[in-house]
Amino acid sequence: MTKMNEKKVGIIGLGKYLPEHRLSNKDLEKIVDTTDEWITARTGIKERRIAADNEATSDMAVKAAKNALENAKLNPGDIDLVIVATITPDMFFPATACIVQNKLGINSVPAFDISVACSGFMYGIAIANQFIKTGVYKHVLVIAAEKMSSVTDWTDRSTCVLMGDGAGAAILGEVKDGGILSVYLGADGSKGDLLNMPAGGSRIPATVSTVEGRLHFLKMQGNELFRHAVKIMAEAAMKATEPLGLKGDDISLVIPHQANIRILNAVAKRMGIDPAKKLYLNIEKYGNMSAASSAVALTEAVEEGRVKKGDTILLDAFGAGLTWGAVVIKW
C-alpha cells in the first residue's frame, strides 16, 4: 500500500500485439468433437488469435513493447529494465527478455523472465513498482507475451478451445498523482498439478516416449481449477482493496485475467459488483492468453475509454502454480 511520502509509481504507456490469424469456434468444429454453442456457453470464447509458425513469443513481445514506447512517447534507450512474463519462452535459455532487449537495441540494461503463468502481468507490475519506488530505476518495461498455441494439444477438446496467442506491454514510471495504490500476490505450490506441462524440464526431459505420450502440452484438471480460481480471484481482490478501505462501489472497473466467462461472473458476484457495468471482458475475441490476457485487456480498456483519469481500477489474476495477484491503480 502506498504511504504518504513514498514515490508514486504508475503506468505511463501501454501497448499490445495480436497475431493476424483468427481461429473461430466454427474452425475448431472441424478439428475436434465440439460445437460453437458448447464453447460459447461454457467459456464465453468465440475466437482466438494464433501466431504464425515463424512467429515466436519474443516477436510478439517486441511489437507490443514498441507500441507501448510510442504510447509513452519514450525511446528504447529510456528503458532501465526489461521484464517478460511468459510460460512459452522462445527457448529455456537465454531468457526471452534478453532476446527482446537485444531486438529493441538496449543491450546494456538488465532483463529477465518471470514464469508464473496467468498471474505474470501482476507479478511484473509488482516488481517494477518496487524498483522504481526505491529509486533503482526510472522506467521499467513489463511485457506479458504468450504463444499458447505452441503448448496446446489440438486433439484435447477440453483445453484447445481455451487458448490464444498475443502480447501486451506496460511502461511504469514515476507519476505526480494516483498510480499503484496496492499490490497483493500469492502462491500455493501444493496445487501445481491442477495446471501444468509435464515434460520438457529436468524432471522429465524430452524423449521419444514423452513426445508420443503428448506430455509436452498443457494438462488441466478443469473442474478443480474452476473451484479454486473463483475463490482465489475473489480473495485476491479483497486483499488488495480492503487495506485501502475500498468497497465494490469504489472500483471504477475490474479488469480480470480472461480465463473463462463463468469464472469471471462468479468472481464478480462474490465481489458484489455488476458484471455488465464494472467487469471488463474481451475473452470473446481472444480466449485465454495466459499472462498476456490482463495486459491486453488493460490496454484495450484504456483505448476504448473505459478507463479515465481519476478512475480506480482493479487488475485481478490467477494462474498455474497456483499463483495469484491483484493490483489497485488510481489512473
Cβ-contact 310, 331 below 8 angstroms: yes
Structure confidence at residue 4 (pLDDT): 56
Residue 4 within any structural domain of the chain: no
- Give me the domain span that covers residue 276: 181-330
Residue 305 within any structural domain of the chain: yes
The per-type count for the chain, helices as H runs and strands as E runs, is 12, 13
Structure confidence at residue 3 (pLDDT): 59
159 lies in the same domain as 199? no
- Gap between the Cα atoms of 137 and 130, Å rounded: 9
- Gap between the Cα atoms of 278 and 242, Å rounded: 18
Structure confidence at residue 5 (pLDDT): 66
Give Cα separations from 261 to 143, 201, 216, 253, 258 (angstroms). Answer: 24, 32, 27, 16, 8
Residue 199 within any structural domain of the chain: yes
88 lies in the same domain as 164? yes
Q: Model's pTM, two decimal places?
A: 0.96
Structure confidence at residue 313 (pLDDT): 98
162 lies in the same domain as 108? yes
Structure confidence at residue 1 (pLDDT): 54
For the chain, the maximum distance between any two Cα atoms, rounded to a whole number of angstroms, is 59
* Domain total in the chain: 2
CA-wise closest residue to 282 among 267, 252, 251, 303: 303
- Gap between the Cα atoms of 214 and 103, Å rounded: 33
- Gap between the Cα atoms of 98 and 106, Å rounded: 10
166 lies in the same domain as 258? no
Structure confidence at residue 180 (pLDDT): 98
**537485444: which residue's cell?**
102
Q: What are the grid coordinates assigned to 197, written together? A: 506441462
Catalytic residue numbers? Answer: 118, 257, 288
For the chain, 331 residues long, give each residue's pLDDT as a single digit of tens. 555 567 999 999 999 999 999 999 999 999 999 999 999 999 999 999 999 999 999 999 999 999 999 999 999 999 999 999 999 999 999 999 999 999 999 999 999 999 999 999 999 999 999 999 999 999 999 999 999 999 999 999 999 999 999 999 999 999 999 999 999 999 999 999 999 999 999 999 999 999 999 999 999 998 999 999 999 999 999 999 999 999 989 999 999 999 999 999 999 998 899 999 999 999 999 999 999 999 999 999 999 999 999 999 999 999 999 999 999 999 9
Q: Which helix (H) or strand (E) element contains residue 189?
A: none
Q: What are the grid coordinates assigned to 274, written together? A: 455488476
Three-state secondary structure string covering 123-156: HHHHHHHHHHHCCCCCCEEEEEEEEHHHHCCCCC
CATH of the domain at 215: 3.40.47.10
14 lies in the same domain as 155? yes
Cβ-contact 317, 331 below 8 angstroms: no
Q: Tell me, what DSSP letter sits at residue 276?
A: H
Q: What are the grid coordinates assigned to 1, written together? A: 500500500
Give Cα separations from 29 to 25, 67, 157, 256, 274 (angstroms). Answer: 6, 34, 10, 28, 33
153 lies in the same domain as 202? no
Q: Tell me, what DSSP letter sits at residue 89?
A: -
42 lies in the same domain as 148? yes
236 lies in the same domain as 89? no
Residue 1 within any structural domain of the chain: no
Q: Which of 160, 176, 192 finishes a domain? A: 176
